[in-house]
Amino acid sequence: MVRKYVFGCPFETEAVTEAITPETGTPEYGTILTEKGFLFTLALEGQDAVYGLGEANRGINKRGYVYVSNCTDDPEHTENKVSLYGAHNFIIVDRKGKDTFGMFFDYPSSIRFDIGYTKSEELTVSCEEADLYLYVITGENAYDIVKQFRRIIGRSYIPPKYAFGFGQSRWGYRNAEDFRHVAEEYRKHNIPIDMVYMDIDYMQDYKDFTVNQSFPDFKAFVDEMKEKKIHLIPIIDAGVKIEEGYDVYEEGVRENMFCKREDGTDFAAAVWPGLTHFPDMLNPEARRWFGRKYKILTDAGIDGFWNDMNEPAIFFSEEGMEEVKQFLKGYLEEGQDGNAEQEKGNPFQAFKLRGKINSLANSPEDYRRFYHNVNGKKVRHDKVHNLFGYNMTRAAGEAFGEITPGKRILMFSRSSYIGMHRYGGVWMGDNKSWWSHLLLNLKMLPSLNMCGFLYTGADLGGFGADTTEDLLLRWLALGVFTPLMRNHAALGTREQECYQFGRTNDFRHVIGVRYRLLPYLYSEFMKAALHDGMYFRPLAFDYTDDDMAREVEDQLLLGNEIMIAPVYTQNAGGRYVYLPEEMMFVKFLPDGTLHKEVLEKGHHYVKVALNEVPLFIRKGKAIPVVDAAQCVDEINMETKQMLGYEGAEYDLYEDDGVSTVE
Ligand code: GLC
């Protein structure tokens, strides 16, 4: 049962697509105050668990910390961080012995979820303005609540089938030769691959919808890669470079497509290209205009994109830089009390100076400096900040319906809000080559699924910092199961393509397992998308009466048949697992054979070598496996065999993988 409550005068985010008649009273759970902003308060009991919040830090059970939905470009995903790139304001309060319910706070600006942080037995949700829609969902259990929520927000985005293959990316690939080289190395070593990603350097001076001079005939290059069965996936950034003669910039200025300052001039912010203007993604006309630009690349044969820097990230604004200049001038020329010399020796001034410079990026002040034109109404950006990335991806998604009708296009974004799940997936942003981030990757998966984001994954091997061969292998063994399976690394880090290390056979094997499982993974993804289900679920969602299952945060159910439990610690030869029922433990061994063993319900230590991929088949079930292939297109369904319990049947979902699904 879904109930809708209206507070004040909410902004229409269009996150919810189903028309629901609002209630007159207040929700039956907790208390709500609207005098000073909005404040929801609920008492929590010892065993209550809180799920949701999509791409957020920390655990699957969010209890014990505070989270702020405020889309932020922050590459330091340490435990203390409260905001990441997404704003997914859906939670489920799973109360032992009492009814479980879900809540979606449809509010487009910063909103704080204090889940037993300030007071361990209290949940509060607060935001500055009491203008929002609140949806309260009751149901049989947490999973039932998720399904109802997903129904009202509309069907999740479905990518083309090739996007379930493996992809290689690196910030730093520059020219045709670089991309060709990556493709050739993978093919030469027979490591399966379907996609090579193009990071910002493929563009001319970081200008969206351009390619640099190393591609004299871009379409011919895209075709050449297609012949090798490789899809090129270019990045598109939110900011449009300010440069005379650049048509996208000139057209945008002329047609009033960019976000404006209070005085009506186009707002300028520095990002990778230098100073840029932000297309007004909240203005339907500008959205249509920007979306149509993707045609420049689809016309060249491109059939996949990733949208970036769309929080939107700001390195600095002209106004912000001016303030720092003034501060520095005062510091150097006058000092406090007019004594510059003395001030220079004052360590506190130096701290202040450093703080000033650091606060140039993504500053709240800058987000108050520009405006959107929402159907003729001027709206200050900070009031709707969390909708920018969503609407950038929506711009593309809506345009694809016109420029590539009937055809699925790969699309995923860094920043997002619920609603964007209808137009694209997300990747988890700039993680690090840390073992702790492998586990964080796993924990984010079910929470993202709760909020509709099914096509998702993290930068395998880690984006920032230097990876190690064992970390990459273990991370790939998790990536084998994530719909988006991409190895991506930052400029200046150790090269981490799978052919850069000694154990090429092991990389071939681990990625090969992805292709062996692909029919199953794709089928389960499609079932989840078409029936508002979750591809990844916490154990607690299925084994509702099992207290131990409620505590497991490093194993997940995938689809209807399997459980995954990756190894996420260095130098480990295996790990402990908890089986809530009897299961068949399967390992894909490097020689192509399988290890199969039925294990009783309970705790077990299972050995898993660096070059093995483990999974667990649930009691009485079986999954299809095929032979490994070099790319999705070459998977041979005639090699299909059943793996699991004798006599079990599996309902395989199959389609052409290309056409949009009605
Ligand atoms: C951002 C993205 C990252 C990309 C880089 C350069 O940091 O999150 O994936 O490589 O920008 O475009």
- Name the CA radius of gyration of the chain, rounded: 25
Query: Ligand 1 centroid vs 484 CA: distance in angstroms?
Result: 16
Ligand 1 atom closest to the Cα of residue 169 is 10
327 lines ligand 1 (CB under 6 A): no
613 lines ligand 1 (CB under 6 A): no
Q: Look up residue 433 and give its amino acid.
A: S
Ligand 1, atom 7, residue with closest C-alpha = 430
Ligand 1, atom 12, residue with closest C-alpha = 200
Query: Going from the N-terminus, what domains does the chain have, and what CATH number goes with each?
Result: 2-153 (2.60.40.1760), 317-360 (no CATH), 527-644 (2.60.40.4040)
pLDDT in tens, 366-412: 999 999 999 999 999 999 999 999 999 999 999 999 999 999 999 99
- For ligand 1, pick from 199, 206, 493 the residue to mutate: most ligand atoms within 8 Å of CB: 199
Cβ–Cβ < 8 Å for 452, 421? yes
Ligand 1 atom closest to the Cα of residue 235 is 12
Query: Ligand 1 centroid vs 489 CA: distance in angstroms?
Result: 9
Query: Ligand 1 centroid vs 82 CA: distance in angstroms?
Result: 21
429 lines ligand 1 (CB under 6 A): yes
Query: Ligand 1 centroid vs 486 CA: distance in angstroms?
Result: 13
Name the nearest CA neighbour of 267 among 280, 250, 281: 280
Q: For residues 172 and 532, give the distance between their C-alpha atoms in angstroms, rounded to a whole number.
A: 38
Q: For residues 53 and 45, give the distance between their C-alpha atoms in angstroms, rounded to a whole number.
A: 20
Q: What angle do CA 531, 85, 206 make, to 5 degrees?
A: 110
Ligand 1, atom 5, residue with closest C-alpha = 171
pLDDT in tens, 634-662: 999 999 999 999 999 999 999 999 999 98
- For ligand 1, pick from 73, 309, 392, 459 the residue to mutate: most ligand atoms within 8 Å of CB: 309
Q: For residues 229 and 130, give the distance between their C-alpha atoms in angstroms, rounded to a whole number.
A: 52
Ligand 1 atom closest to the Cα of residue 170 is 10
HSE of 433, CA atoms in CB hemisphere, 13 A: 20
Q: For residues 284 and 12, give the distance between their C-alpha atoms in angstroms, rounded to a whole number.
A: 13
414 lines ligand 1 (CB under 6 A): yes
pLDDT in tens, 208-252: 999 999 999 999 999 999 999 999 999 999 999 999 999 999 999
Q: Look up residue 428 and give its amino acid.
A: M
Q: Look up residue 327 and give its amino acid.
A: F
Q: What angle do CA 383, 384, 389 make, to 5 degrees?
A: 150
Cβ–Cβ < 8 Å for 386, 272? no
Ligand 1, atom 4, residue with closest C-alpha = 171
Ligand 1 atom closest to the Cα of residue 171 is 10
200 lines ligand 1 (CB under 6 A): yes
Query: Ligand 1 centroid vs 269 CA: distance in angstroms?
Result: 17
430 lines ligand 1 (CB under 6 A): yes
Give mean pLDDT in consecutive 10-residue pieces for the chain, a chain of 662 residues: 98 98 96 98 95 98 98 98 98 92 98 98 98 97 98 98 98 98 98 98 98 98 98 98 98 98 98 98 98 98 98 96 87 65 68 88 96 97 98 98 98 98 98 98 98 98 98 98 99 98 97 98 98 98 96 98 98 98 98 98 98 98 98 98 98 98 91
486 lines ligand 1 (CB under 6 A): no
pLDDT at 333: 75
- For ligand 1, pick from 171, 314, 431 the residue to mutate: most ligand atoms within 8 Å of CB: 171
171 lines ligand 1 (CB under 6 A): yes
Cβ–Cβ < 8 Å for 596, 586? yes
Q: For residues 577 and 218, give the distance between their C-alpha atoms in angstroms, rounded to a whole number.
A: 50
CA quadruple 628, 629, 632, 634: dihedral sign:
negative
308 lines ligand 1 (CB under 6 A): yes
pLDDT in tens, 277-331: 999 999 999 999 999 999 999 999 999 999 999 999 999 999 999 999 888 887 7
User: What is the number of other CB atoms lying within 10 angstroms of the CB of residue 68?
Assistant: 18
